[in-house]
Structure 1
Amino acid sequence: MENERWGAAASLVFGLGTDTRLSLNYLYLEQHNVPDYGIPWIPETVTDPRLTKYHNKAAPVSYSNFYGILDRDYEDIVTHIATAILEHDFSANLKLRNVTRAGLTTRDSVTTAPRFAGTGSTLNRQFQSRDQEDGILSNQTNLIAEFDTGALKHTLTTGVEFSWEQSENKARVADAAPQTDLFHPNALDPYTGTIRYNGARQEADVFSAAVYLFDKVELGEHWEINGGLRYDYIDTDYTSVDDHGSSTDLNREDNLLSWRAALVFKPADNGSVYFAYGTSFNPATELLVSSSASSIINQFDTDPEENRSYELGTKWDLLDEKLSFTAALFRTEKSNARTADPADPTAFELSGEQVVQGFEVGFAGTITDNWRIFAGYTYLDSEIEESLNPEEVGKHVSNTPEHSFNLWTVYDLPAGFQIGAGAQFVDSRFNNNINQRLAPSYWVFDAMVGYKVNENVSLRVNFYNLADEEYIDRVGGGHFVPGAGRSVAVSAAIKF
């Protein structure tokens, strides 16, 4: 596989130091890649004696194996993002901020998905194509006001938000690619077939509008209340055209009201304790054209999924406010998860109940003048409590590791040198909600050496995955994508 990208970003600001400021920003990013769908899981249908003990497990092959075809596979992505930010200070206590953003991304890719052709080790190179264009135009206006009502000090934020999104994906078909062997793939196999459009496409146009109001109220030195409401309106038009020219046109409107509230207690100047509660939603149309047409059509008429979140936490600034410590207990409930009837995959209902709860702790800051640390640990306990599919009930939510940990520390040495080291741990997690396939846990260790040449120039060498650990980074239905192996990056920073 290969990733090649280049980009440019520029900002132009008018009115610095005045009450009215205008910032114009533009980002251009271009990518030319050879994509990798990864390594296949071993399905239960395989009877090859070398593979039967690996049913529903990772294939026993090197994670550097590549099952694509260099003669066919590619990925070209171009992104444009333009942003205008207008700010005006009416006074020290009343400020207006407007952000307008326009974005356009085109993606043209052909990828190979390795899939078993039968009961042996022979693989089909399944054709995966995406010729997609996504555009967005959004505008958000915030008014921030600070004022007192008696003994109460308010920070009020109110605003409106509008966005227009358009997405189109054109389908293509291709002649079959040569098969390959699980143990001995050849990326240089010739591809003599053709890739062509078959007339099928998906289009989605989404208009959304929102209005919100949030207030932070300080009650003396030790207490603070936060709360607010947000109303969203989403209007989605979706069109699916099959390869025979038959069109399916759908429209859906969603009206969503969400809210949040929090109580904060500050027992000391350097610490606080809080409890927060909030709601959120996942509309059925949130994926636009990123899923298959049949999947979108089957789910289109379902109401938004509803989420409830609870959090009890604390934050303390230690060592003369140089080191920050945070900790939190949390619980998120999806009260009406979208689930499919296994007897009828086209039947979706909002009858699922999913819960993820746990706690997290973290440190960030400076221990001494020369020693900095960033560390965090998260524990997740997930369960599917109700589902149309009985095989999901009592199982873990997919891709939810029970334990995860990260550490990065840097120490400044004499003569401008700097060293750093870090570790990351991700626990095992399942690839789907029936917990069919398990991605094992893994550790990854990194290191860094830096040198400050002078006030304007610094050099750095980063070492990633020092032990060259083979691990699963992303999980999919029939495959998984390995994490990056051992690598080294050399960089220079110049200030002028």
Structure 2
Amino acid sequence: MSLYYTDGSAIDYDVSDSYAPDWAYWNTTDQTSFAELNHDWGGGWKTKGTLTYRKITQDAEQFLAYGVPDRTTGLGLSTYPTKYDRYEKQWIGDISTTGKYTLGGRQHDVMFGVNANRSKNYMTSLEADVGVPLPSLSVWDRQFPRPDFANGTETFSDFTVRKTTAFAATRLNLHDDFKVIAGLNYTRATSTGEHYGEPREYKRNKLSPYLGLIYDLNDNYSVYASYTGIFNPQSQVDINGQILPAIEGKNYEIGLKGESTDGKINGSIALFRAEQDNTAEYDTFLDGLSRYKAVNSRSAGFELALQGEVMPGLQVSAGYTHFFSIKDEDGKAVREFVPKNSFTVAASYAVPAVQGLKVGGAVRWQSETRRLQGQTAAGDDIYLKQKSYAVTDLMASYEVNKNVTVGVNVKNVFDKKYLTSTQWEQGFYAPSRSVGMNVQLKY
């Protein structure tokens, strides 16, 4: 839904509001099958192979409304109805071998393998009654007659993406307290075909390194440092119809890990810095397609994590992430839809008085996010903002016997109203409070 008026002020919708008329739908079927084969060669050498097939089919008739309404009149939205059929077929093969070898009088570990992915995508799309002005947002009943899609404008996508990655890594046990992990992976990605009349063709390949150092301070604590090369081909297109370059960059991390003497509680603290170029960020909607721009970013921050059994029956996990900054090469803030602070804590307690009963809850909090949407007629910047918020979930489960467990979950207990993301021009509110029940059967 459009999230702001032309004067830059936010539109206050009800959580259940939607532009979709009664005839709109979106059906999705996702089928996955896989096979796995493991072999132990002896002497510490093992090979694992998996083959996965996934088919996703979608059939939809959607109604979008685009534009920015005037605060006084409520006018400014226009129609964009579409009907499409889509399928995607994925084949994913993975084979890896792990083993041990002796060098310099010490035993070391090694891993190598290949991952191959082939994805076939096909979609037909019909558009009809596009660009029809809608009534004032304040009086529009969110209905619109179903268009005659059979006589609409037809477009299609038909492209295939292939990605193969070969990797090798070793852990050198140079000393009882000091280890070095080094590795390389080579990625080759290609795409052929077209997407809504524009070529979806590219060839990308890159050799990326990994290096990690681990030093055990004692039996319970260790420090580490790592460097990772980043390479991730992408298929988004810019306003000129050109496919964006692959994401490339570097990631640095140093940290401390430890566990309690009895091994029941463990935690970590890490400082990180990431340099990432060409990340696709939504730009605009043009000629029926979402267009993206390549953004270079430099981010730095730290992470804290703690998990374990803090007392008999009470399991707790907590994590906190803070970004010092996320900026481009010129020092300008970018990707402001990413929260600079986020915190999660979850706990479950096995009630000793009732065998099989477990209760728990979780709280998620994040700081304010925003996105620059454009400018008003007066030239003032329009920012879409989501204030900081916290969401609470609760759960309870009861193990009837070793085969049957029943449970209940309450999501968003305090019915918090918030946008799921500020990454896009339009957005959605998160679901309101809900209660669900489940039954697990094990044999």
TM-score category of the 2 structures, normalised to the smaller one: 0.7 to 0.9
C-alpha displacement at 1:335, in angstroms?
A: 4.1
Runs of at least 5 residues in structure 2 that lack an aligned partner in the other structure? 375-381
The answer to whether the aligner puts 1:415 opposite 2:354 as a matched pair is yes
**Counterpart-to-counterpart distance in 2, 1:95 and 1:478:** 49
User: Of 111, 116, 124, which residue of structure 2 is paired with 1:162?
Assistant: 116
DSSP 3-state at the match of 1:375: strand
User: Of 238, 241, 248, which residue of structure 2 is paired with 1:295?
Assistant: 238
TM-score, L = length of structure 2? 0.86
Residue deviations 1:229-253, cap 9 Å, x none? 11112222132464xxxxx546422
| Aligned match of 2:34 | 83
C-alpha displacement at 1:131, in angstroms?
A: 2.6
| Aligned match of 1:145 | 99
C-alpha displacement at 1:341, in angstroms?
A: 11
C-alpha displacement at 1:264, in angstroms?
A: 0.5
C-alpha displacement at 1:126, in angstroms?
A: 3.0
| Aligned match of 2:188 | 233
| Aligned match of 1:254 | 204
Paired positions, count: 426
| Aligned match of 2:228 | 278
In the superposition, relative to structure 1, how do residues 462 and 146 fare at CA in structure 2: closer, same or farther (>3 Å)? same
C-alpha displacement at 1:191, in angstroms?
A: 2.0
Q: Judge conservation of contact 1:406–1:422 (CA < 8 Å) in 2.
A: yes
**Counterpart-to-counterpart distance in 1, 2:15 and 2:291:** 38
Shifted more, 454-463 versus 203-212: the winner is 454-463
User: Of 258, 271, 286, which residue of structure 2 is paired with 1:316?
Assistant: 258
C-alpha displacement at 1:320, in angstroms?
A: 0.9
| Aligned match of 1:47 | none
| Aligned match of 1:372 | 315
DSSP 3-state at the match of 1:75: strand
The answer to whether the aligner puts 1:121 opposite 2:74 as a matched pair is yes
Q: Judge conservation of contact 1:322–1:366 (CA < 8 Å) in 2.
A: yes
**Counterpart-to-counterpart distance in 2, 1:263 and 1:117:** 53
Residue deviations 1:437-496, cap 9 Å, x none? 222211111222333434443332222211111111133533211111111112233434
**Counterpart-to-counterpart distance in 1, 2:366 and 2:423:** 17
| Aligned match of 1:356 | 299
**Counterpart-to-counterpart distance in 2, 1:142 and 1:175:** 53
Amino acid at match of 2:406: L
**Counterpart-to-counterpart distance in 2, 1:115 and 1:341:** 15
**Counterpart-to-counterpart distance in 2, 1:234 and 1:419:** 46
Q: Percent same amino acid among aligned pairs? A: 21
In the superposition, relative to structure 1, how do residues 173 and 341 fare at CA in structure 2: closer, same or farther (>3 Å)? closer
Q: Judge conservation of contact 2:62–2:82 (CA < 8 Å) in 1.
A: yes
**Counterpart-to-counterpart distance in 1, 2:38 and 2:83:** 43
**Counterpart-to-counterpart distance in 2, 1:185 and 1:372:** 50
Shifted more, 428-437 versus 355-364: the winner is 428-437
**Counterpart-to-counterpart distance in 2, 1:412 and 1:349:** 50
TM-score, L = length of structure 1? 0.77
User: Of 322, 338, 342, which residue of structure 2 is paired with 1:404?
Assistant: 342
Amino acid at match of 1:298: G
Shifted more, 258-267 versus 477-486: the winner is 477-486
Residue deviations 1:207-258, cap 9 Å, x none? 333321111111232111111011112222132464xxxxx54642222111
C-alpha displacement at 1:69, in angstroms?
A: 0.4
DSSP 3-state at the match of 2:383: coil
Residue deviations 1:40-75, cap 9 Å, x none? 21143xxxxxxx4xx153x1232221221012x111
**Counterpart-to-counterpart distance in 2, 1:349 and 1:115:** 20
**Counterpart-to-counterpart distance in 2, 1:368 and 1:328:** 26
In the superposition, relative to structure 1, how do residues 164 and 463 fare at CA in structure 2: closer, same or farther (>3 Å)? closer
The answer to whether the aligner puts 1:394 opposite 2:332 as a matched pair is yes
DSSP 3-state at the match of 1:295: coil
Amino acid at match of 2:322: Y
Amino acid at match of 2:74: S
The answer to whether the aligner puts 1:447 opposite 2:399 as a matched pair is no
Amino acid at match of 2:354: A
Q: Judge conservation of contact 2:82–2:125 (CA < 8 Å) in 1.
A: no
In the superposition, relative to structure 1, how do residues 298 and 486 fare at CA in structure 2: closer, same or farther (>3 Å)? same
Q: Judge conservation of contact 2:5–2:69 (CA < 8 Å) in 1.
A: no
C-alpha displacement at 1:407, in angstroms?
A: 1.1
Amino acid at match of 1:421: G
The Cα RMSD (Å) is 3.1
Amino acid at match of 2:87: E
C-alpha displacement at 1:380, in angstroms?
A: 1.8
| Aligned match of 1:307 | 249
**Counterpart-to-counterpart distance in 1, 2:434 and 2:202:** 48
User: Of 15, 18, 21, which residue of structure 2 is paired with 1:69?
Assistant: 21
